[in-house]
Chains A and B, each alone.
Chain A
Amino acid sequence: MTTLVEGEAEDTAIPRSAPVIATTGLTKRFRSGQVAVDHIDLTVERGAVYGFLGPNGSGKTTTIRMLLGLIRPTDGAVSLLGDPVPGNEAHALAKVGALVEGPAFHPYLSGWANLRRLDRMDETADPATHEERLSNALARVGLTAAANKKFRQYSLGMKQRLGIAAALLQPRELLVLDEPTNGLDPQGTREVRHLIRELSDDGLTVFVSSHLLAEVEQICTHVGIMSVGKLVTQGTLDDLRRGGTTIVTVTTPATELARKTFATLGLADAAVSGDEVHASLGSIEPEAVTVALVNAGVPVRGLAVSKPALEDLFVEITGEGFDVAR
C-alpha cells in the first residue's frame, strides 16, 4: 500500500490484548489550582466502543487533551496504543483520529483546502493517495457537495462533519471523539452512529464522549462516568445496567387491583400513573408477574419490562443537580 519507506517499519508486536488506552493516576491541576482531573485510571480495551460520560465541567475534555499529548499531566501516566504520552505520542498519534472540543479549521479556506492542509502536514500521509483519501473522507461524512465551500460558510453540523472527516483521513486504530454529534441534525446523528458502528466492526477502537445518553446506549460496549474530576464508574454497559433497577409496567383499567397484585408479589415501589402501574422487578421473573396478574383477574392491555435507562443510571451516579459542580 505504501511505496517509499523512510526509517524502520514500526513494530506491530504490541500484544493485541493490551489496552488501547490505559491511564494510571492521571491528574491535571491547572495553574488556577483547580484539579480538573483527579487520579483517574482509565482502561479502554481493543475493539471497545467506550462511552466517556460526565456532566459539564467534569473533566472529559481535559482528560482527552492529556491522552493526545496536548496538555501535560500534573501526575500519573498515559499509555496510548502502547506508547507513553508524553514521550512517544507522535508514534501513537499517527494511528489515532481525534475530534477535540469541537471542530476547528481555517475559516477562509474551503473544507477541501482545510483537509489538504492537515494531510500535507502529516509525515505518514502518502502523497500518491492524497486526493483519493480526501474525497473518501468527505464522502464518508456526506460533505462532498460542500467540499469547495469556505469553512466560514459551513453550518454547525457541517463543521462537525468536517472534523470527523479529518479524523478519518488516514487508516486508524483508535478514534477519540469529543462530542461528535454536537450540532448535528437527526440524520447526521444517525449517520455518526452508523459510522461508529461500522468503524467498530472494522476493528477500530472508539473512545467517545457524549451527552446524548440514548446514543451512547445504542452504540457503546463500555462506559466510564466522570464526576467532578473523578472516574466514578467504569465497565461494560451491561455490568453498569445490572447495578440499576429493572422496571415492570402493566397497562390496565384495573390499576388498583394491579398495584395490590404487585405488592403481594413483593415488588418494590409499586405506583400508579394514569392507566399504568409500575414497580421494580427485583429478582422476580417477568413470567411470574404475568401469571400473577392473570390469576388475580387483572385485565392486561400491555406489559413491559424495561432495563434501566442509562440516563437514570447516570443521574443516580452523578447526582440530580443542574448547576455545574464547580
Chain B
Amino acid sequence: MSLAEAVGHGVVVPRRHRGALGRQLRSELRLVFGRRRNLILLGALAAIPLAIGLAVKVSPPGGPGDGGGPQFLDRITGNGLFLVLTALLVTLNLFLPVVVGIIGADSVAGEAQAGTLRYLLGVPVRRGRLLLVKAVGIATYALAAVSTIAIVAAIAGVSLFGAGSFTLLGGQTVSPGEGLLRVLGVLIYVWLSLFGLLAVGLLISTLTEVPMGAMAGTLGFAVLSLVLDSIPQLHAIHGALVSHYWRTFGTLIRVGPDYGSLARHLLLQLAYVGIAGGLAWARFSDADVTS
C-alpha cells in the first residue's frame, strides 16, 4: 500500500482521537519507568529502610525517650510501622530531593539534550500539554519513590519487630488498622510535600539543555532551603521556605493532629506549584528550541 492511498492526493484531514491525554500520560510513564536507571534508583531507595531496620535490630536504641538518632527511631522496636516514619524522615532531607532533581532534569532538559524535544514538538505536542505530561511523570515517579520507601520499610519493620498495637505520639494506643491508616496518610502527605520542589525542578529543566545542571540546580535549591531554615536569624522567611514543614508529618500520628499546620504547608506547596509552574510555562511556551 502506498501512503497516497491512505492520504488522498496530498490532502490530509487530521482529527483528534479521543483519549489522547491518557495515551500521552501512559507513554510518559512508560518512558520514566521503562528506563533502567530509574528502576535502579528505586532499588537504591528501597535499601535505605532495610539498612535502618537491620541496624536497629542489631543494636536497639535505649527505648522511648532515649533521645539519640532521628525521630521515631526509638519506637521501631515497639511497632515495626515506625520504620516507615523514620525512613521517610531520613530520606526527605537528601534522597527524595535528589530523586526529584534527577527525574525533573530528565523531563525537559534531558529531552532537549537528546534532541527528542524538537521531534516531540514537531509531532506536534502542544507545549503546555507537554509540560503537563512531564509534571505528571515527575509526580508519579515521586509517588513511586515515597511508596517504595514506605512499603519496603513497612514490610521490613513488621517482619523484624512485629506490628502490635500502635502507640500515638502523646501516649494513646490505637488499633493496628488505624495505625496503618495514619502511616498511609503520612505517605501521601510526604508525597504532597515534594510538589513545590517538583515544580521548581520542572522550571529549572526548561531553563537549560544540560540535565546535570538542572539536577544540580534543583538539589541546590532544596539544600539552600534547608540551610536557610536552620538559621534562627532568618526566622522571618522560614515560613516561605519550601522545606520548612517537611518534617512536620509527625503530627499525623499525634493524638490530635495539628490540622492548621498541615493546611498551611499544603497551601505553601500549592503556592510554589503555582509560581514555579507559571514561570515554567511562561519560559517554555516561547523558548527557542535550538537543541
Contacts and interface: CB of A to CB of B under 8 A. Distances in A.
A101 B122 CA distance: 13
Given A2-B15, A2-B17, A122 B123 contact: yes
A93 B123 contact: yes
A93 B114 contact: no
A136 B9 CA distance: 19
B236 interface: no
Interface string B8-42: 11111111111110011011001100111000000
A105 interface: yes
Interface in B273-291: 286, 288-290
Interface string B89-126: 00000000000000000000000001110111111111
A203 B119 CA distance: 24
B58 interface: no
Interface residues of B, number: 45
B18 A106 contact: no
Interface centre among B1, B8, B36, B119 (most CB of A within 10 A): B119
Contact of A203 (B9, B30, B36, B123): B9
Contacts of A12: 11, 13
A201 B9 CA distance: 9
A169 to B, nearest CB: 9
Nearest to B6: A171
Contact of B10 (A9, A121, A205): A205
Interface in B64-86: none
A47 to B, nearest CB: 7
Nearest to A66: B288
A86 to B, nearest CB: 7
Contact of A171 (B7, B16, B24): B7
A204 B14 CA distance: 15
Nearest to A68: B122
Interface in A143-189: 166, 168, 170-173
A100 interface: yes
A6 B118 CA distance: 26
Contacts of A316: none
A164 to B, nearest CB: 12
B118 A70 contact: yes
Contacts, number: 151
Contact of A127 (B1, B6, B19, B122): B19
Contact of A93 (B11, B116, B122): B122
Contact of A9 (B13, B19, B36, B123): B13
Given A5-B15, A199-B3, A69 B123 contact: no
A125 interface: yes
A6 B14 contact: no
Given A6-B17, A10-B14, A105 B24 contact: no
A202 B17 contact: no
A172 B7 contact: yes
Contacts of B24: 120-121, 123
Interface in B31-61: 31, 34-36
A95 interface: yes
Given A65-B289, A93-B123, A104-B119, A126 B17 contact: yes
A98 interface: yes
Interface of A: 1-2, 4-7, 9-10, 12, 46-47, 65, 68-72, 86, 89-90, 93-96, 98, 100-102, 104-109, 113, 116-118, 120-127, 136, 140, 166, 168, 170-173, 198-199, 201-205
Given A104-B116, A106-B114, A168-B3, 15 more contacts: A68-B118, A68-B121, A68-B122, A70-B289, A94-B124, A102-B115, A106-B116, A113-B34, A121-B123, A122-B125, A123-B24, A124-B14, A166-B119, A170-B14, A202-B2
- Minimum-distance CB pairs A-B, first 6: A203-B10, A104-B115, A202-B4, A120-B27, A94-B14, A93-B124
